């Protein structure tokens, strides 16, 4: 039983890798297919909750508890990037000045130059 399950998981894992690799070359169709999949998934969840006659309040409470338990509550609604940028005291991109962007660009170019030196020394 477990061998069959492992083979099935391995098959779909390899299939997912191939499809993701292929679709990543075509971002707009990839986004459309992904969007359709997400909508159909949530439509199924919605209808399943309706089939079990789960009230709106029970849905809200159970969904919140599930998201809190698995650690997705804040990242789902705020996003990891926003949380991390707030912890680092970073400005929003729209609030950064042109001088700050140029300074950051210079720093990144210096890092890239150092990286090239390290690579050539390793070779």
Q: Where are the domains of the chain?
A: 1-53, 55-90, 94-123
21-51 confidence digits (pLDDT tens): 888 888 899 999 999 999 999 999 999 999 9
Percent of the chain with pLDDT over 90: 30
The residues, ordered by sequence, that sit 6+ positions from 23 with a Cβ below 8 Å of its Cβ are 29, 30, 33
The share of the chain scoring above pLDDT 70, in percent, equals 81
Q: What is the DSSP letter of 54?
A: -
Cα(47)–Cα(56) distance, integer angstroms: 13
């Amino acid at each position: 039983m477990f061998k069959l399950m492992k083979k099935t998981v391995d098959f779909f894992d390899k299939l997912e890798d191939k499809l993701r690799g292929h679709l990543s070359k075509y971002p707009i169709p990839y986004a459309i297919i992904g969007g359709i999949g997400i909508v159909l998934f949530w439509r199924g969840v919605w209808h399943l909750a309706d089939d079990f006659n789960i009230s709106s309040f029970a849905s809200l409470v159970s969904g919140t508890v599930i998201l809190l338990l698995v650690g997705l509550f804040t990242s789902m609604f705020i996003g990891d990037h926003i949380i991390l940028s707030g912890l680092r005291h970073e400005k929003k991109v729209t609030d950064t000045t042109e001088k700050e962007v140029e300074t950051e660009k210079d720093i990144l170019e210096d890092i890239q130059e150092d990286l090239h030196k390290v690579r050539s020394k390793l070779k």
